[in-house]
Amino acid sequence: MLHSTTNANEYNNKEFHLKQNSQNPFENKVFIDCTFHNSSFDHCNWKNTQFIDCTFIECNINMPSMENCRLQDTLFKESKLSGVNFYLCTPTFFATSYQNTTLQYCNFSDLKMNHTLFESCKIKECYFNNTSLKSVKFKDSELPETLFHNSDLSKADFSTATQYDINPQNNKLSKARFSLPEAARLLSHFEIIIE
């Protein structure tokens, strides 16, 4: 149960341990400098909800409604995110980071995510279409079956990432960093033979 100290919809500097589902909506709430520990959000309603300077630790987030959700300076740590349509979030102020987190079936299309940090993450079957990912770091992260299409990966750092498959013909890769042997995957999109 949520209890606010300011008004019915705003929470400041609070810690939560929650089990939320579609029957317990978060709609139209504002969370500032809040921490969510070991919480579960299954098909919950985050429409018009604001998370500002918030941290999610050991949380399970499964297919929330994200229309006009504001994620500003929000960290997901040691969590599992599945089916999150980040592209429905308010693009203004969108800023997230991820540490030791599993992301599966998440859609980041049409967002500006420059300088985002993915550290020790598993990013599986996620979708980055028309996404600005300049100077993003995929530090020690795995990206199996994740799709990048028409995205700007200029100066992105994949040097310690694995299992990525990026088509250089339809993504911008200027000054992006890669390391061998993983970087050889970039050549798979060209009709060449490597012996």
pLDDT of residue 185: 72
Q: Where are the domains of the chain?
A: 10-189
Amino acid at residue number 187: L
Give percent of the chain with pLDDT exceeding 70: 88
To the nearest whole percent, how much of the chain has pLDDT over 90? Answer: 82
Domain 10-189 grouped into CATH 2.160.20.80: yes
The predicted structure's pLDDT at residue 191: 66
Position 1 scores a pLDDT of: 44
Spacing of C-alpha 72 from chain mean position: 12
Higher pLDDT: 166 or 25? It is 166
The mean pLDDT of the chain is: 91
Contacts of 190 (CB under 8 A, 6+ apart): none
**Per-residue model confidence (pLDDT) at position 21:** 63
Residue 146 to residue 93: CA distance in whole angstroms: 25
Q: Is the pLDDT at 140 greater than 50, yes or no?
A: yes
pLDDT tens string 47-62: 999 999 999 999 999 9
Tokens at 75, concatenated: 């960290």
